[in-house]
Amino acid sequence: MQEHLFDNRRQNGRETCEEGPDSFARALNPAQFEAVTATDGPVLVIAGAGSGKTRTLVYRVAWLLAQGVAPESILLLTFTRKAAQEMLRRAGELLGRTCSGVCGGTFHAVANTLLRRYASCVGYPSFFTIIDRGDAEGIIKLLIASLNLSGAGKRFPSKRVVLNVLSGVVNRARPLDDLLSSRYSHLLQFAPDIARLDELYQQFKRDHALMDYDDLLVNFKNLLQDHPEVRRELSHRFQYILVDEYQDTNPIQARIVALISETHGNVMAVGDDAQSIYSFRGADYKNIIDFPTFFPGTKVVTLEENYRSVQPVLTLTNEIISQARQRYTKKLFSNKEGGEIPRIVALSDEQDEACFVVEHILELQKKGMPLEQMAVLFRSGFHSFKLELALNARQIPFVKRGGLKLTESAHVKDMLSYFRVLENPSDFLSWNRILLLLEKVGPRTVQKMLDSVRSRPDSLAGLAVFPAKAAWKEGFDALVTTLRQLQEKRPPPVDLFDRLLEYYTPVLERIYYDDYPKRLADLEQLKNILAGYDDLKTFLDDAALDPPDIDTGRTRENSGEGCLVLSTIHSAKGLEWEAVFVISLAEGRFPSTKHTDDDDEWEEERRLLYVAATRAKQHLFLTYPRRLVVHGQGFETVFLTPFLEHLPQSCAHFSCPHRQTQSATSGFWAGHAGEDQRQPRFGAGNAPKERGNAKNQVSYLTSTRALAKDMCVIHPFFGRGVVEQIVTPKSVVIHFDRHGRKTIHLDYARLLAAS
């Protein structure tokens, strides 16, 4: 009966409910009701995908308010800012009044607000600018430029390698030392100073009043830890702490939750250990496992019923996750009968894959399903490029989530940099950016200018005395004058914007002469956003913490409405659609990392697929292209992702459409179909644990260590060849008897040694 009510309410999409415990009991199942109404100590809700965990939080907020709890004493911590807003909106709808006063947002936003409020009282830096990941990389680049790298050899390692190191520095997930001592030890021989990079980075941030995402959390944690009076005040104020997506918190966040609930222990955390997909940025799923020990006296509530998907979808997703090394806490079941069996489909290439998706979307649409009830998910942003072309060709409107953010485009960054130097004159990252925009001024000159800026307490005055060369004096003077004017009389943000745009427009037209009208439109969008703020600092904080999506071409009216959704799996978290297509599920693309030897990363990729598949309510399509374009020219045959390879035949409808599509492809391929016998191996022939211990069967060449010049190798498609040159540890030039010279990537190719 309760489930019946529950389902009706879900389907209507509108939840209405008179206040009072009885109505809540009617709308929730017993486990949910228990979680919602528990108030005397910590509660952990372990909830499977689609089991209504967000709903549980919404109801708890509404229930607390209905009990007469002051909104100010509720703190709702979510994964994204939008999630918090949405939950509060729904809770308000439930109650029939707004939830204003409830403090809700991400850990970072809350940490920022409270840090700014309390820091000055206790001697913490209260004046700072928040930097995003791009800024952090910019700083490191500046630092690298300032290091003397010429000594060891003029060649500095490629940018990609440096960025890998940076991600170690920027995401605290791995200390720099670890990276340098293992995978990147060769960097040290190029540049011994790189070992100090982390230290220099920290120093730079301190000197220039900059804080990255981690600093926000760490400083906030320290504030609570070192100052009992602040901790108690906050703990007293926030009597009810609610945390969503707890499996994606990092240890510092867990500590913050503990500190802020010190006086009452009134924490409700909600999460699913099988959906932990953010370890790359420091999240630790052990947080949710250890919650009961961390918070003694925890009531654990498990939600195992899935209200989202039909049983066949659930059967498949249960299978996917059951092959994980780690045992998860629950097995989902559904009472939604019927439904289609999910399909796993191989297409000949990306083009065909895009066509397949488009055709099925049109078909579903013809049957009456609105476009916004369908989504296409993929591992990485660029996997959808081909599909985007196909959708444009058929004029199917779509929005891409998790794509480029407004504040990530160069021109918006430029504009924000002017704001930032006005707000924080020691923000040298922004100084660097805006000075580079001057004509005939390059990195070298900017370095000298920055020295001059640094030499005076008043940065702008320091800049003004720099001896400008005649060639660019005009532009330089214009910049100094503009900034000086604005520094003196601080106009409201929108006026400030107009004045700066006046200065910047000629610059924009010079630099982006080919597409500046489009960029001007983006800036117009930025202005609209800015219009909602009367405080520049708050605007800059938000721009860094919650960068808005870029709406190319669409008006605010129809953005998102009636559009198909394209999304990375990470950005699809917590959402659901009637029909879901997961594309590019090919080996080499899906476990996308090259470090597939790391078990934890491997398992996280599996969970990622689980998250993707559990977004579907009714229809689920899993597709992959059998051939991918690789480096330069030529295709490479790829296989189904290992996570789907060994599923029981019954849980999905497997299609091997090569029989139909092969003839449609070029003669070149059709002619060699015979060599290409290595179809996806669905059967139980291979053991599920193929990696590592399958060496006694066939051993593919995965490293150039096993290769030498003039050695004979066999490629599954190109056949016999001779190694000509070893280019990098992972790529090698091979001359094939029948196909000529090819560059082969060992991570993709299944190369065998020939005698």
Partner DNA sequence: ATCGCCACCGTTTTT
Partner DNA sequence: CGGTGGCGAT
By CB under 7 A, residue 240 contacts DNA? no
Among 89, 97, 159, 286, binds DNA (CB under 7 A): 159
DSSP result, 550-605:
P--S--TTTSSTT-EEEEETGGGTT--EEEEEE---BTTTSS--S-TT-HHHHHHH
- Site string (84-123) toward DNA, x via CB under 7 A: ----------------------x-x---------------
Minimum gap (Å) between residue 566 Cβ and DNA = 11
What sign for the dihedral angle of Cα 166, 167, 173, 174?
A: negative
Minimum gap (Å) between residue 131 Cβ and DNA = 11
Size of the site for DNA (CB under 7 A): 49
Among 14, 327, 367, 444, binds DNA (CB under 7 A): 444
Tell me, letter by letter, the H, E, C secondary structure of 76-109: EEECCHHHHHHHHHHHHHHHCCCCCCCEEEEHHH
Contact 328, 274 (CB under 8 A): yes
Binding positions for DNA, 633-672, rule CB under 7 A: none
Contact 419, 541 (CB under 8 A): no
Tell me the β-bridge partners of 11.
none
Query: Can you tell me the distance from the alpha carbon of 239 to that of 262, in angstroms, rounded to the nearest whole number?
Result: 10
What sign for the dihedral angle of Cα 500, 503, 504, 509?
A: positive
Using the minimum distance from each CB to DNA, give the nearer residue, 192 or 381.
381
Tokens of 291: 């919650």
Using the minimum distance from each CB to DNA, give the nearer residue, 31 or 565.
565
Among 20, 297, 443, 491, binds DNA (CB under 7 A): 443
Among residues 110, 95, 391, which one has the least CA distance to residue 244?
A: 110
Amino acid at position 362, single letter: L
Among 40, 186, 263, 382, binds DNA (CB under 7 A): 382
Residue 501: phi and psi, rounded to 5, are: -65, -35
By CB under 7 A, residue 547 contacts DNA? yes
By CB under 7 A, residue 339 contacts DNA? no
Minimum gap (Å) between residue 446 Cβ and DNA = 7
Using the minimum distance from each CB to DNA, give the nearer residue, 185 or 593.
593
Interface region with DNA, contact rule CB under 7 A, candidates 226-234, 316-324, 406-414, 522-530? 406-414
Q: Which of helix, strand or coil describes residue 693?
A: helix
- Site string (451-490) toward DNA, x via CB under 7 A: --------------------x-------------------
Interface region with DNA, contact rule CB under 7 A, candidates 552-560, 566-574, 651-659, 700-708? 566-574
Angle at 342 between CA 338 and CA 345, to 5 degrees: 155
How far does CA 28 lie from the centroid of its chain? 32
Which residues make Cβ contacts (< 8 Å) with residue 400, sequence separation at least 6? Answer: 384, 388, 566, 567
Residue 532: phi and psi, rounded to 5, are: -80, 0
Interface region with DNA, contact rule CB under 7 A, candidates 51-59, 156-164, 297-305, 327-335? 156-164
Which residues make Cβ contacts (< 8 Å) with residue 473, sequence separation at least 6? Answer: none
- Site string (493-522) toward DNA, x via CB under 7 A: -------------------x--x-------
By CB under 7 A, residue 380 contacts DNA? yes
Using the minimum distance from each CB to DNA, give the nearer residue, 106 or 309.
106
Residue 83: phi and psi, rounded to 5, are: -60, -40
Residues in contact with DNA by the rule CB under 7 A: 79-81, 106, 108, 132-133, 156, 158-160, 162, 164, 167, 171, 213, 277-278, 280-281, 379-382, 402, 408-410, 439-446, 471, 512, 515, 545-547, 568, 570-571, 592-593, 631-632
